[in-house]
């Protein structure tokens, strides 16, 4: 493929809702049209985007939906939606005639590869694993293990995930590309003075394990009773998390703040950011906290990204999953040492160079513009 030729890209995704994968796809799409290319985003849901898209980026939707309170109806809708999405995607391929397809998220990835194998064989397909592949159900995991290696290229976000897929099939073409930092979402300066504030950001779901943060703060509350914990996000665990806070009598210390756009710009003067997830792909919230100059603590989730980004005692700490004692000790180390906070803050700002948007976009271009 001529590197100087302007190209047509088709980006396939389940839906452009609020999420890390969706944000990265929007970033890549915006940068590609700025560079003179054409981009069509095909959503298997509707054509709305939670993230700003350049007016030159086209987005269309298959209008698939599986929402229902009844399990049987959800299954029927899933089947109908799957068939509808397949024909809609096939129609987009035939009419748009892209030079290459880039797909994010599990069902989109499977659709893209299967269509490539059975129908449109002359369009290269690059898929990207955005989560922990071991956290899927047994059947989906096995299907992905069989189908994913048949893509022209599989993009992962960490070395551990690359090794997982390489072990399954040594012939798989795999590249590692981390997420670029979105400068619109981070604080541009490091504050001179910090608030007695601990911050967490992410969907209120069991995956994020906010109970661990609540229990760890309860361990240190006696010495840090004047500190506030703010949890940003919304989700199905709101009631359970609220009950947990009340059961430990922490209503005056821990607050559920809901969703806030570009939250790091408002909380970069906090003393600490904490991520307590049981599993993650490449957590944008953690990266944005680091880029905004916050000292950080993260659990050691299986994809290994935390260990790749954080050096204990230098820019934060990585602690075992679901260990409130270890998390509490790490919190005390940072909260009790103002000099450590400042050194961690400046060290974390260096991630801006490592995850510079232009550098990451160039790495995507190397993959998408390669001859397959």
Domains of the chain in sequence order = 8-180+356-368 (3.40.50.2000), 183-354 (3.40.50.2000)
Distance of CA 118 to the CA centre of its chain: 30
Token pair of 359 as six digits: 């550098």
Q: Is the CB of residue 33 less than 8 Å from the CB of residue 56?
A: yes
The pTM assigned to this predicted structure is 0.84
| Position 71 pLDDT exceeds 80 | no
DSSP annotation of 183 reads G
| Position 321 pLDDT exceeds 80 | yes
DSSP annotation of 170 reads T
What pLDDT is recorded for position 64? 66
Confidence class of residue 324 from pLDDT cuts 50, 70 and 90? very high
Q: Which residue reads 């906090």 in tokens?
A: 270
| Position 290 pLDDT exceeds 90 | yes
DSSP annotation of 16 reads B
**CA 76/CA 79 separation, integer angstroms:** 5
| Segment 186-227, tens digit of pLDDT | 998 888 899 999 999 999 999 999 999 999 999 999 999 999
What pLDDT is recorded for position 65? 62
**CA 161/CA 171 separation, integer angstroms:** 15
Answer left, alpha or beta for residue 320, where phi above 0 means left and psi between -120 and 50 means alpha. Answer: beta
| Segment 31-44, tens digit of pLDDT | 999 999 999 999 99
What pLDDT is recorded for position 311? 96
| Segment 242-275, tens digit of pLDDT | 999 999 999 999 999 999 988 999 999 999 999 9
Mean pLDDT computed over 149-164 = 93
| Position 116 pLDDT exceeds 90 | yes
């Amino acid at each position: 493929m001529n590197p100087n030729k302007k190209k047509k890209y088709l980006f396939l995704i389940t839906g452009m809702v609020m999420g890390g994968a969706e944000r990265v796809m929007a970033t890549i799409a915006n940068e590609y049209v700025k560079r003179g290319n054409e981009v069509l985003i095909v959503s298997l849901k509707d054509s709305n985007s939670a993230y700003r898209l350049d007016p030159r980026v086209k987005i269309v939707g298959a209008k698939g939906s599986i929402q229902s309170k009844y399990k049987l109806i959800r299954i029927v809708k899933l089947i109908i939606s799957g068939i509808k999405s397949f024909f809609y995607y096939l129609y987009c391929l035939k009419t748009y005639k892209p030079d290459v397809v880039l797909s994010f998220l599990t069902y989109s990835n499977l659709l893209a590869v299967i269509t490539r194998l059975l129908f449109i064989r002359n369009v290269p397909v690059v898929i990207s694993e955005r989560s922990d592949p071991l956290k899927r159900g047994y059947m989906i995991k096995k299907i992905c293990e069989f189908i994913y290696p048949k893509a022209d290229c599989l993009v992962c976000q960490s070395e551990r995930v690359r090794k997982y897929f390489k072990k399954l099939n040594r012939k798989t073409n795999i590249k590692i590309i981390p997420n670029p930092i979105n400068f619109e979402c981070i604080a541009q300066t490091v504050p001179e003075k910090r608030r007695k504030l601990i911050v967490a950001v992410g969907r209120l779901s069991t995956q994020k394990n906010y109970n661990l943060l609540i229990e760890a703060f309860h361990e240190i509350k006696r010495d840090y009773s004047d500190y506030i914990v703010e949890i940003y996000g919304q989700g199905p665990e709101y009631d359970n998390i609220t009950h947990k806070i009340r059961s430990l009598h922490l209503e005056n210390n821990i607050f559920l703040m809901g969703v806030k756009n570009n939250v790091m710009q408002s909380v970069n003067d906090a003393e600490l950011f904490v991520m307590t997830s049981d599993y993650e792909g490449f957590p944008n919230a953690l990266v944005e906290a680091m880029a905004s100059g916050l000292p950080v603590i993260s659990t050691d989730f299986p994809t290994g990204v935390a260990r790749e980004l954080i050096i204990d005692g230098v820019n934060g700490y990585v602690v075992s999953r679901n260990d409130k004692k270890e998390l509490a000790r790490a919190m005390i180390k940072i909260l009790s040492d103002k000099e450590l906070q400042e050194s961690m803050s400046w060290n974390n700002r260096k991630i801006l160079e490592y995850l510079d948007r232009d550098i990451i976009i160039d790495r995507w271009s190397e993959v998408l513009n390669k001859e397959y």
